[in-house]
Amino acid sequence: MIALICGIFEAIWRRCFGSSGWHIKILEIRAVQHVIGFLGIFACLMTKYSLWQALIVAGVMQGLYWAKAHGAVFDYGHGTPDPKRYDEMWYWKYLKKYIPEGQWYGFNCDYYLMNVRYSIPSVLVGLLLFSVPAMFMGFALAGMYALCWIAYDFGWIKNPTSTAEYLGGFMTGLLLML
Give the span between the Cα atoms of 162 and 167, in whole angstroms: 9
State residue 82's pLDDT score: 85
Give the span between the Cα atoms of 115 and 72, in whole angstroms: 14
Percentage of the chain beyond pLDDT 70 is: 100
**CB-CB neighbours of 100 under 10 Å:** 9
Q: Tell me which residue of 80, 67, 73 sits closest to 34, measured CA to CA.
A: 67
DSSP assignments along the chain, one per residue: -HHHHHHHHHHHHHHHHHTGGGG-GGGGSHHHHHHHHHHHHHHHHHTTS-HHHHHHHHHHIIIIIISS--GGGGGTT-S---HHHHHTSTTHHHHTTTS-GGGTTSHHHHHHHHHHHHHHHHHHHHHHHT-HHHHTHHHHHHHHHHHHHHHHHTTS-S-HHHHHHHHHHHHHHHHHH-
- Domain housing 83: 2-177
Using one digit for the tens of pLDDT, what is the confidence trace for 8-33?
999 999 998 888 778 889 988 989 99
Please give the model's pTM, rounded to 2 decimal places: 0.92
Give the number of domains in the chain.
1
User: Is 80 exceeded by the pLDDT of residue 71?
Assistant: no
Using one digit for the tens of pLDDT, what is the confidence trace for 53-65?
999 999 999 999 9
Give the span between the Cα atoms of 177 and 95, in whole angstroms: 31
